[in-house]
């Protein structure tokens, strides 16, 4: 079955530690996205990538970093610079033509999410 | 910048009753509009989307939404709610030609027996 997988489902981190969240898709989508969800706040865009080896900051990129070395994978690192990292993190992907900004007619498909808790 | 408002944080509906969830957007042109549903601890699933054409859009699970340009609204409706519809619902908007979505803060639907 095609889809998006995120691991782990639950993640605990001590203050001051970096942690990496995994996102893998086998939908052959070019575009991938990371969102942060807090209770009552909806989803906010952290980073997105239109093509391998390229990515753009979203609305709340401070304290986060990403890489896009493979089309299927878009890992998110939550660094110690992120002051309030406890949240639910969602990865998404959409069809895109490589090298062209994604058309908004391409639906975003979401993974099951990772809940990060800082202890 | 575009914005999305979902005025109701929580809504409780009796099973079998009709449902309407409100969504208002702020954007100069006609944006692309979406409704997603999220079960507790899960990712988001697309219910329906509007890009152009017929302003009444049919989606999955018996949901529909109507785009009203004059009211800048895209309300979600279902004629008869089932207990399995209890979830959080998000409206999202994107300006045509761009890739990113702006989400509303969500409406939690509770279904009473």
Question: Strands (DSSP E) along B1-113, which ranges?
Answer: 3-5, 10-14, 19-21, 24-26, 32-38, 44-50, 56-58, 64-68, 73-78, 87-94, 102-103, 107-112
Buried b (16+ CB within 10 A) or exposed e, B7-44: eeeebebeeeeebebbbbbebeeebbbbbbbbeeebbb
pLDDT of residue A102: 47
pLDDT of residue B99: 60
Reported as a single tens digit per residue, the pLDDT across B26-53 is 876 778 889 999 998 888 999 998 887 8
pLDDT band (50, 70, 90) for residue B56 = very high
pLDDT band (50, 70, 90) for residue B96 = low
Q: Is 60 exceeded by the pLDDT of residue A10? A: yes
B99 vs A35, A44, A48: nearest CB: A48
Q: Say how far residue B57 (Cα) sits from the centre of its chain.
A: 11
Q: Is 90 exceeded by the pLDDT of residue A119? A: no
Q: Is 70 exceeded by the pLDDT of residue A1? A: no
pLDDT of residue B27: 77
Q: Is 70 exceeded by the pLDDT of residue A68? A: yes
Are the C-beta atoms of A86 and A118 separated by less than 8 Å? yes
pLDDT of residue A103: 57
Cis peptide bond N-terminal to A8, omega within 30: yes
* Interface-testing mutation among A9, A37, A42, A56, with chain B (most B C-beta atoms within 10 A): A42
Question: Nearest-CA residue of chain B relative to A89?
Answer: B43
Residues of chain A in contact with residue B104, where contact means CB-CB under 8 angstroms, are: 42
pLDDT band (50, 70, 90) for residue B98 = low
pLDDT band (50, 70, 90) for residue A99 = very low
Q: Is 90 exceeded by the pLDDT of residue A104? A: no
Q: With pLDDT > 90 as the criterion, what percentage of chain B qualifies?
A: 71
Tell me if residue A92 falls in helix, strand or coil: strand
pLDDT of residue B28: 66
Cα–Cα distance, A59 to A1 (Å, whole number): 32
Number of inter-chain CB pairs under 8 A, A vs B? 65
Measured between CB atoms, does B77 come within 8 Å of chain A? no
């Amino acid at each position: 079955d095609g889809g998006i997988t995120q691991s782990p489902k639950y993640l605990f981190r001590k203050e001051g530690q970096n942690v990496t969240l995994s996102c893998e898709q086998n939908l052959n989508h070019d575009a991938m996205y990371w969102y942060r969800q807090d209770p009552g706040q909806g989803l906010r865009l952290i980073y997105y990538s239109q093509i391998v080896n390229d990515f753009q900051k979203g609305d709340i990129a401070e304290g986060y970093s990403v890489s896009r070395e493979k089309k299927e994978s878009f890992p998110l690192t939550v660094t110690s610079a992120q002051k309030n990292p406890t949240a639910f993190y969602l990865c998404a992907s959409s069809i895109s033509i490589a090298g062209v900004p994604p058309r908004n007619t391409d639906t975003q498909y979401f993974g099951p999410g990772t809940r990060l808790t800082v202890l | 910048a575009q914005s999305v408002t979902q005025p109701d944080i929580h809504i409780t509906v009796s099973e079998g009753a009709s449902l309407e969830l409100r969504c208002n957007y702020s954007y100069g042109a006609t944006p692309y509009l979406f409704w997603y549903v999220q079960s507790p601890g899960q990712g988001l699933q697309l219910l329906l989307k509007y890009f152009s054409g017929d302003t009444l859009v049919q989606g999955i699970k018996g949901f529909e939404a109507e785009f009203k340009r004059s009211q800048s609204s895209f309300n979600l409706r279902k004629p008869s709610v089932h207990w399995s519809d209890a979830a959080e619902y998000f409206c999202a908007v994107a300006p045509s030609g761009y890739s990113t979505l702006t989400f509303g803060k969500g409406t939690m639907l509770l279904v009473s027996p």
